[in-house]
Amino acid sequence: MTTSHPTTHPFGRTLCAMITPFTENGTLDLDGAQKLAAHLVAEGCDGLVLNGTTGESPTTTDAEKQELLAAVRESVGDRVPLVAGVGSADTRHTVELSLAAEKAGADGVLVVTPYYSRPPQQAVEAHFRTVADASALPVMLYDIPGRTGTRIEPETIIRLAAHPRIVAVKDCSYDFLGTQKVLAHTDLAYYAGCDEHVLALYAVGAAGCVSTVANAVPGRIAAILDAFDAGETSRARQLQLRVTPLTEAMTGAGLPGTVTAKALLTRLGLPAGPVRAPLLPAGHEASDDLLARYEELMAG
């Protein structure tokens, strides 16, 4: 018996927050990006988020962002939606990035709360409305106060849900009660942005996830949601718990997910390359631990 899951999936269900591969000298590796994107799609991702946090958006240029998007579109064609991260601390710049993403072939944009200036909720709402009005692309709000310093409060999200192009939320709020409140009062498609919440959020009506861990194990993340959809809730729980040690190593051990994802992908022989400063690469001990947890998961 399948589990009823009424939420639509405007950008897919198992999305990967894809890293941005660089060459060893630190330049954009478009060939590697194309190979990695094709691999992720073949292994279970039905959507990709480019130029997000894991994609090192703070240290890639506007031109690099568009080049990456165009190259990945060429690689995967129309098989999966591509969501482009266009967030910045500046509303005008965010609009410019959104228009450029539309021109480069994105299917949607991921827009983070403006950071550093810590705008009040009225200004936060105005920012998202301005971006949503600027192009024809659907918008995924990105609520990650741990990085931006500012929540998108549930009441603000509920008001924004009335905008025809604001269709989804990437949830890194760690406010499960607030998330359920929005789910109960809107038709927004919620995506778990924290890998430990993939199953929990899906079980209360989310559309899926935007996963950092999927860079390494896309099929294992997709399998959690497959099992739940098939009504195999006990198996879904087991699959979520099996991936927990790797999730902890990649996102909860003190290193940014970009750093751990690139370290593990490098050990697996997949395109990754170095991180850009101010990030530093993972050390040998952390890299060994990541590989050990990956091998343990894949052997299970």
Q: Range of 110's domain?
A: 14-232
pLDDT of residue 5: 56
Classify residue 160: in a domain, yes or no: yes
Mean pLDDT of 69-87: 97
Confidence tier at 8 by pLDDT (50, 70, 90):
confident
Specify the number of domains making up the chain. 1
Average pLDDT over residues 221-225: 98
Q: Where are the beta strands (DSSP E) in the chain?
A: 14-17, 47-50, 82-85, 108-112, 139-143, 166-171, 189-192, 208-211
| Per-residue pLDDT at 1 | 43
Once rounded to an integer, what is the mean pLDDT over residues 269-274?
Answer: 98
pLDDT at 7: 60
From 284, 270, 266, 256, select the one nearest 59 (Cα to Cα): 256
**Rounded Cα–Cα distance for residues 22 and 143 (Å):** 27
Tell me, yes or no, whether 292 lies in a domain: no
Average pLDDT for residues 108-116, to the nearest whole number? 97
- Answer whether residue 108 is part of any domain: yes
Q: For 237-253, what is the mean pLDDT?
A: 97
Query: Using an 8 Å Cβ cutoff, are 182 and 171 in contact?
Result: no
What pLDDT is attached to residue 167? 98
Q: Give the pLDDT of residue 92.
A: 98
pLDDT mean over 204-224:
98
- State residue 35's pLDDT score: 98
Digit-coded pLDDT (tens) for 12-61: 999 999 999 999 999 999 999 999 999 999 999 999 999 999 999 999 99
**147 belongs to a structural domain:** yes
Residue 76 lies in a domain: yes
Kindly state the helix (H) or strand (E) to which residue 38 belongs, with its residue range: helix 30-42
Mean pLDDT to the nearest integer, 182-186: 97
Structure-block tokens of residue 108: 């949607």
- Is the pTM above the cut of 0.85? yes
pLDDT surpassing 50 at residue 115: yes
Residue 94 sits in a domain whose CATH number is: 3.20.20.70
Q: Is residue 274 assigned to a domain? A: no
Would residue 2 count as lying in a domain?
no
Does residue 174 carry a pLDDT above 70? yes
Nearest Cα residue to 98 out of 46, 22, 28, 165: 165
- Tell me, yes or no, whether 133 lies in a domain: yes
Indicate the average pLDDT of the chain: 96
> What is the distance between the alpha carbons of residues 207 and 204, in angstroms, rounded to a whole number?
10
Nearest to 15 by CA among 67, 62, 80: 80
Question: What pLDDT score was predicted for residue 107?
Answer: 98
Name the band, by pLDDT with cuts 50, 70 and 90, for residue 185. Answer: very high
Q: Which residues are catalytic?
A: 142, 170
4 has pLDDT over 60: no
pLDDT of amino acid 300: 83
- Whether the predicted pLDDT of 105 surpasses 60: yes
